[in-house]
Chain A
Amino acid sequence: MTQPLLQLNDVSKQFTLHERGGLELMVLESVSLSVDPGECLVLNGPSGTGKSTLLKLIYGNYRANSGSIVLRRQGRAALDLVRATPQQIIALRRDSIGYVSQFLRAIPRVPALDIVAEPLCEASGADALPIEVARDRSRDLLTRLGIPERLWGLPPATFSGGEQQRINIARTMIRPRPLLLLDEPTASLDQGNCEIVLDMVREAIHAGTAVIGIFHDQRSGAAVASRHIDLGAPGSNKCLQMSY
């Protein structure tokens, strides 16, 4: 029997808005779930039910108010992200958790080729690759994702939404990690590119990656899901809508 790679127990997240007189918004309440290696959990529910918030909690971008988020690590002690130090979270992101956010955060002046290659070069100690080897892998991925070669040397700030999203996917996929978090990775892609990305996700799952994903359409989610969780279902997690 496989052990879960990731285990969430009673995770709650509320935001306190000090500029709104201390208004408290409960976004996730007592969420418990687990994900095994080679499994793809798709999060369903209308917008505002905390799907992205859940991914951000698992990535250590948001801080949970209570509960635990425990990630099992190869050959090392499991780690609870809720209690991890910043140094531990940085190491987890490098070695254990890949995250495709909704939008690419472009870095001024850095060409697409190097933005994609970077995660392989900043790896720790002996497994860091020289830049040229990393760029070769970057070229392979950009080719597969249909980014025209004339764009590789340009910073992605001026790229279209769909191009930026594919750069973001390539940047995460170039460094396979045991847990992959996907926040609407195909939202601004055309049919053909969408299929390519879904193929890549399926390959990762077959290779043993545990995936938690949010997809903008049911069809894409169904194409990769081994299990669904509905965050918006009445009574399931008592998730309230967050509104600004």
Chain B
Amino acid sequence: MNACSTEPLLRVQGVSRCYGTRAALSNASFELWPGEVLAVVGESGSGKTTLLNIAAARVAPDSGSVHFLVGPGQLEDVHALSEARQRLLARTEWGYVHQNPENGLRMEVSAGANIGERLMAQGERHFGRLRSIAADWLARVEIDADRLDDSPRTFSGGMRQRLQIARNLVTRPRLIFMDEPTSGLDVSVQARLLDLLRQLTQTMHLAAVIVTHDLAVARLLAHRMIVMQQGCIVEHGLTDQVLDDPQHAYTQLLVSSVLPP
């Protein structure tokens, strides 16, 4: 993480969102610095995913704003951008990893085509280069190169999740949003994915917002964490501070309810 940064990469200010009469998210704010990994924890229905989707410009807030550092000194309100610019941002500077890899992959095309898609959208047309970059990324996420032409349907859950990560990171985004990236996987497969995410965020200087209900995932990956309850952020701080010295009653309950992460 770059401690010298004076500007946040992402600034979420006072965002709220109602579904019908129910407030899914109330007045949530946070900032994210370049290269920083932030975990958002809390039980189901606490507003974690709503916060993630508002930050990633996939859901519009009823009030509040989300600013992204598009260039030095240039913070832009992502919800005020045109849809075309939002899409451009989403496939170049950002990545989004879904809990269920089938929602983030094109299941009807090959693994290689899945990885190549964002590059092609950016104008890369050279077939040989696309193939060699795709093969390189398969290796980085520990999938055999001879699976390049196979459909993701033939992949296991853990492989699909790693493929989804490769598909997102191939354009070297500065920020990645992840919604419960490990929760659909077996424990043995989780460890491999977590180690991979840890390496990639470190070596690529990648900022990330990771929604998880697993405190061990937060401990392993995140510099900072946010604890949510009933649509509100009830506590935030350095990951080890929040887990080892929780202040809020709900955080204390959360930490004491699991085996030590």
Q: Does B220 contact A (CB under 8 A)?
A: yes
Chain A's closest residue to B239 (CB) is A86
- Per DSSP, chain A at the interface is mixed
Docked pose: A87 CA to B238 CA in angstroms: 9
The total number of A-B Cβ pairs within 8 Å is 62
Known A-B contacts A17-B252, A87-B33, A90-B3; the reply to A108 vs B241 at CB < 8 A is no
Q: Is the CB of A108 within 8 A of B223?
A: no
Question: For A61, what are the chain B residues with a Cβ–Cβ distance below 8 Å?
Answer: 238, 240-241, 244-245
Question: For A91, what are the chain B residues with a Cβ–Cβ distance below 8 Å?
Answer: 3
Question: For A89, what are the chain B residues with a Cβ–Cβ distance below 8 Å?
Answer: 238
Q: Is the CB of B256 within 8 A of A19?
A: yes
- State which of A16, A62, A87 has its C-beta within 8 Å of the C-beta of B3: A87
Docked pose: A125 CA to B5 CA in angstroms: 12
Q: Chain A: how many interface residues by the 8 Å CB criterion? A: 25
Docked pose: A17 CA to B191 CA in angstroms: 32
Q: Does B29 contact A (CB under 8 A)?
A: no
Chain A's closest residue to B5 (CB) is A87
Question: For A94, what are the chain B residues with a Cβ–Cβ distance below 8 Å?
Answer: 3
Chain B's closest residue to A53 (CB) is B245
Known A-B contacts A61-B244, A87-B1; the reply to A109 vs B252 at CB < 8 A is no
0 or 1 for each of B184-201: is its CB under 8 Å from A? (1 = yes): 000000011011001000
Q: Is the CB of A18 within 8 A of B249?
A: yes
Question: For A60, what are the chain B residues with a Cβ–Cβ distance below 8 Å?
Answer: 238, 241
Q: Chain B: how many interface residues by the 8 Å CB criterion? A: 29
Question: For A143, what are the chain B residues with a Cβ–Cβ distance below 8 Å?
Answer: none
Q: Is the CB of B245 within 8 A of A62?
A: yes
Question: For A18, what are the chain B residues with a Cβ–Cβ distance below 8 Å?
Answer: 248-249, 252-253
Known A-B contacts A60-B238, A86-B223; the reply to A109 vs B2 at CB < 8 A is no
Q: Does A136 contact B (CB under 8 A)?
A: no
Which 7 pairs between the two chains have the least Cβ-Cβ distance?
A: A18-B249, A91-B3, A108-B191, A62-B245, A109-B195, A86-B238, A18-B252
14 A-B residue contacts at CB 8 Å?
A16-B247, A18-B249, A18-B252, A19-B249, A61-B244, A63-B247, A87-B3, A87-B33, A90-B3, A107-B195, A108-B191, A108-B195, A122-B202, A124-B2
**Inter-chain pairs besides A19-B249, A87-B33, 8 sampled, C-beta below 8 Å:** A63-B237, A86-B238, A87-B5, A90-B1, A107-B198, A108-B191, A122-B202, A125-B2
